Structure 1
Amino acid sequence: MKKHTNEGHDFSMQDEMRRAFAMLSGKWKLEIMWLLHQRIHRFGELRKAIPGITQHMLSAQLRELEADGLLLRTVFAEVPPRVEYEMTEKARGLGPTMEALAAWWGEYGSTIPARPSMRGRKQKDLSAVKASRQSK
């Protein structure tokens, strides 16, 4: 793999990709980015659009994406306060990657085994209820 120098340090492309993947890793970040790729969203809209995400986790993921310069948070001085989230120009550079992933899914998605759509605490609670019903 080709090496290149960055501020006196040698980094391979694998190291650089690891850094890129780390920015987008997280259970919900890609889903958030996909939604923001479509349009500007308010916090409540994002929460409703992502089944199973908690308010705390959504806030944490949004803060991380904002700190990495991938989204812009705009607070409007209104009562009640309104907050909107949108992708930055840097994040819009990921658009072709997102479109390629959507095209890949369109071609091969039907060949992937289905998984339960619910995630997080709600899925665990539902599984526990089902297990207790089956044991009776």
Structure 2
Amino acid sequence: LSISRMKFTFLILFSSLVLVSHATQQTVGVRGTLFCGNKPLAHAEVKLWDLDIWTDPDDQLATVRTDRYGNFVIYGTEDEIFTFDPVVKIIYSCDNKNVFGLEKINDQCSLRLDMGVMNMEPSVKGEQTKCF
């Protein structure tokens, strides 16, 4: 290898180490209660993700299921160089036989977020569930 190419390679490796050393550990916790109409939404799958940019793939931080009362608590920790963009994804079935929906809730939160009580049943005219 030429001297200039070795310098370039060293610069890239050194820059990568500096970026990694500046990564900060960030933790987020989310809790809430899910309903389908007036019934608790039991056994819905709740996933906590960190959406990333560029070539860094999104990270799934944790997965839980709601209890029989529709309650959930989920926590996740991530070492992040850039912004921490936590997203809650809820996979559920609500009055749709074998049709599952996905609900995304974005929030720039630092430690804890209480989503409160959410009715997952589409009830507003024009409101839709993203089905897959």
Point out the structure with max Rg over C-alpha. Answer: 2
- Relative to the length of structure 2, the TM-score reads 0.24
- Relative to the length of structure 1, the TM-score reads 0.24
Identify the structure with the greater helix proportion.
1
Identify the structure with the greater strand proportion.
2
* Greater relative contact order (Cα < 8 A, sep 6+): 2
